Amino acid sequence: MRGGARRFRVAVACMAALAPACVRAEEGFDTEHIFGFMIGTDIGNVGEREFQTQTTGSFGKGGGTYRALEHEVEIEVVPLPNFRVELGATASLHDITGVPDIDDRRQFNFQGASLDLRYRLLNREQAPFGLTVAAELHGNRIDETSGAKGRMYGTEFTLALDRELVPNFAIAALNLIYQPEWARFEMAGLSEKSSTIGAAFAGLVRVRPNVLLGGEMRYFRQYEGIGLGEFSGQALFVGPTAYVQLSERSRLTLSWSMQAWGRPAGSSAHLDLVNFERHQARLVFGVNF
């Protein structure tokens, strides 16, 4: 754990040193991409187009070896004021050995596709805070946790708020999340429905004109059924986030979270490694074109 945090700090320091000195800080913040596992309320300007890759890693379960990587390629466009559309395709890699209730698996597959729609209700420049609603719809042929084949459909609804605490220096954000999921597995022919609700908070400060550093704290509760039925477990994740403006058109975001506390239903454990992972990491690279 300490080694992972140390490597994260070293990577951020190296990127900050190598980032072009000519990159200027904007007046205020553009929060569209500065957070790791969260979203901001900004959605870009009309006609803007972006290409983005997002790699997410999940590591550690209740026993054995668990590693899962998702690599998503995305195209983002802003066709109308305050409205953004994103199309994505995802490939996944699973390396699972000796994990309770999950079959051993080592595989690389095309996972699925997604559609992300965002609409900004309040602009932070004209209102006390920014407010955006987002809905990400996805359909997968590979389960993101177990790697099992099947048909998986779900939606992530997010209500995002953010506010500049100190102009051009400190920004804070809040996300409220609801995720209904449905899955039918190919091998067993079983169907599962689940839902997750969560709240996430982030804060970032500008340490250089082109570098932001801060952290994110996310709390989740998982239930059986899409209507928040029987309680399954809960977890709290905390960790650092770094954003680097590499050039006028390109950017990089890094985020790492560890499960600081959790508890599966009916257990006195201090971590929920049944429904959630021990560590999560994310690397996002984007470029305007």
Q: What is the secondary structure of 163-210 as a DSSP string?
A: EEEETTTEEEEEEEEEEEEEEEETTT--EEEEEEEEEEEEEEEEEETT
pLDDT of residue 28: 79
**Global pTM value:** 0.90
Domains, the chain: 2-24+48-280 (2.40.160)
pLDDT of residue 258: 98
Measured distance CA(272)–CA(200) in Å, rounded: 18
pLDDT of residue 256: 98
Q: Round the CA-based radius of gyration of the chain to a whole number and report it.
A: 19
Q: CA neighbours within 13 Å on the CB side: how many for 225?
A: 5
Average pLDDT of each block of 10 consecutive residues along the chain (289 residues)?
A: 52 47 58 97 96 98 96 98 98 97 96 98 96 98 96 98 97 98 89 97 97 98 96 98 97 98 96 98 97
pLDDT of residue 93: 98
pLDDT of residue 221: 98
First to last CA, the chain: 38
Q: Which residue matches tokens 């072009």?
A: 20
Ranges assigned E (strand) in the chain: 49-59, 65-80, 83-97, 105-122, 130-142, 149-166, 170-185, 191-208, 211-224, 231-245, 250-264, 279-288
Q: Looking at the chain, how many residues does it have?
A: 289
pLDDT of residue 224: 97
